[in-house]
Amino acid sequence: MTITTLTFDSPVGRMELVAEGGALTRAHFLVETAEGGSQAVDNASGVAAPTGWAGDAVATGSRAAGAGAHRSAAAGGICPDGSSHGVLQEAQRQFEAYFAGKLREFTVPLAARGTPFQRRVWEELTSIPFGTTASYGQIAARLGMPPGASRAVGTANGANPVAIIVPCHRVIGANGKLVGYAGGLDRKRRLLNLELTSSGQAALFA
């Protein structure tokens, strides 16, 4: 199946969207290297991908596997131009509405790949309302997991391949502090404050 990508500029940095068929499989941030080239940040592994990487047909939660699974957008089966791809166009439209404070719930079809446990965690993340947060421990409890399972939830949270739509940025530490985000804590802070102010609340994360 052809993998199609689309990049656009958002208020929190350039993003790359990846689709296979009629579903979005990845949404991640792009960062500039010291040399001025673009690198994709692989949300699933937390490892900076080679320039031009557009996603992989099988996402994993493994740092080692993720590091070895990157492919160039020029590789066979990958089309980097998603300007006419319906799902990618709609995803960009919804992201732009979200950043403008006009959308709270995404409706883009998703096909995020992961283990059964990772998918359970990601599904639970989507139940965290816009403008609110939950701790890793709270997510574990909602999944019926025993006390002390926060680390497993955190690992699955960090493997989320679809930034913002699956709102891993809404998960914070038990002490209310910002911890762990593949896209960087400054970006996590900005996303949470955007949601708070869009909800008529004061920004809480300085």
CB 183 within 8 Å of CB 168: no
SS3 193: helix
Give residue 78's pLDDT.
Answer: 54
DSSP 169: G
CB 67 within 8 Å of CB 47: yes
Is 78 or 146 the better-scoring residue by pLDDT? 146
Give residue 37's pLDDT.
Answer: 57
Per-residue exposure over 31-51, b if at least 16 CB sit within 10 Å of its own CB, e if not: eeeeeeeebbbbbbbbbbbee
Residue 1: pLDDT over 90: no
Give residue 3's pLDDT.
Answer: 87
Per-domain residue ranges of the chain: 3-99, 116-198
Give residue 27's pLDDT.
Answer: 95
Tell me which of 166, 168, 172, 192 is the catalytic residue: 168
* Residue 79 falls in the annotated catalytic set: no
Which pTM value belongs to this model? Answer: 0.79
Give residue 67's pLDDT.
Answer: 26
- When pLDDT is cut at 50, 70 and 90, the band that residue 36 belongs to is low
Residue 108: pLDDT over 90: yes
**Of 33, 65, 26, 27, the residue nearest 48 (C-alpha):** 33
Per the prediction, the chain carries an average pLDDT of 79
Give residue 59's pLDDT.
Answer: 30
Give residue 82's pLDDT.
Answer: 62
Q: Class assignment of domain 116-198?
A: mainly alpha
Residue 87: pLDDT over 60: yes
Residue 141: pLDDT over 80: yes
pLDDT per residue as tens digits for the range 4-21: 999 999 999 999 999 998
Please provide the distance, in angstroms rounded to a whole number, between the alpha carbons at the two ends of the chain: 44
Residue 46: pLDDT over 70: no
Listing from the earlier edge strand, what are the strands of the sheet with 13-20? 38-40, 23-32, 13-20, 3-10, 78-79
